[in-house]
Amino acid sequence: MAKSKISKLSILTEFDVYNSAKDLDKKDAELLLAAQKMVKTAHAPYSEFHVGAAVLLENGKIVTGNNQENAAYPSGLCAERVAIFYASAQYPNVAVKAVAVAVKSKNIVISEPLSPCGGCRQVIAEYENMFEKPIRIIMSGEKGQIYIAKSIESLLPLMFSKKYL
């Protein structure tokens, strides 16, 4: 240990784990089903990794999206961001309560829950911080367990936010 180090910081992160969608609350199951439906219409011819997302708003509306890829690769966007940006554009003053994510790959079976990429975590954090209300994140694979994070803080500890600006 370097002489000047005074301690080690450990961060505990927690998820609720469910065996299948059948075990979820009715609202969570409905949101996950909406995400699963969106997997089919993803535009993902390059990665063949199809992702669906569904966003539940405080007004009860569900807004969905899926990944949209592009021949110029970086121009595409993840499913979570497509859904959450669309939700914010349509309902700018309505808090986001939950985001569900579903996936289907053409090449491998995804048997563990897909958790949003780093960029999507930062975007979800923006809306959590904007409304100062936690966003539940419901993560699923093609089969296997489902993880639920109670807040983006579980996925993005030490996040950068507007408090620094």
**Binder among 51, 63, 83, 155 for ligand THU (CB under 6 A):** 51
In whole angstroms, how far apart are CA 157 and each of 26, 137, 141, 161, 163?
Answer: 29, 14, 23, 11, 15
In terms of CB distance, is 37 or 92 closer to ligand THU? 37
Task: Determine which residue in the list 24, 34, 78, 102 makes contact with ligand THU, applying CB under 6 A.
Answer: 78
User: Nearest 5 degrees, angle CA 90-CA 96-CA 138?
Assistant: 120
Paired with 103 in beta bridges are: 51
Query: Site for ligand THU (CB under 6 A): which residue of 76, 112, 151, 153?
Result: 76
Options 48, 58, 80, 128, the catalytic residue: 80
Alpha helices in the chain (DSSP H): 26-39, 79-90, 118-131
C-alpha span between 127 and 131 (Å, rounded): 6
Write down the least CB distance from residue 6 to ligand THU, Å: 36
Q: Is 65 in the site for ligand THU (CB under 6 A)?
A: no
Which one of 8-16, 28-36, 113-121, 128-136 is the stretch in contact with ligand THU (CB under 6 A)?
113-121
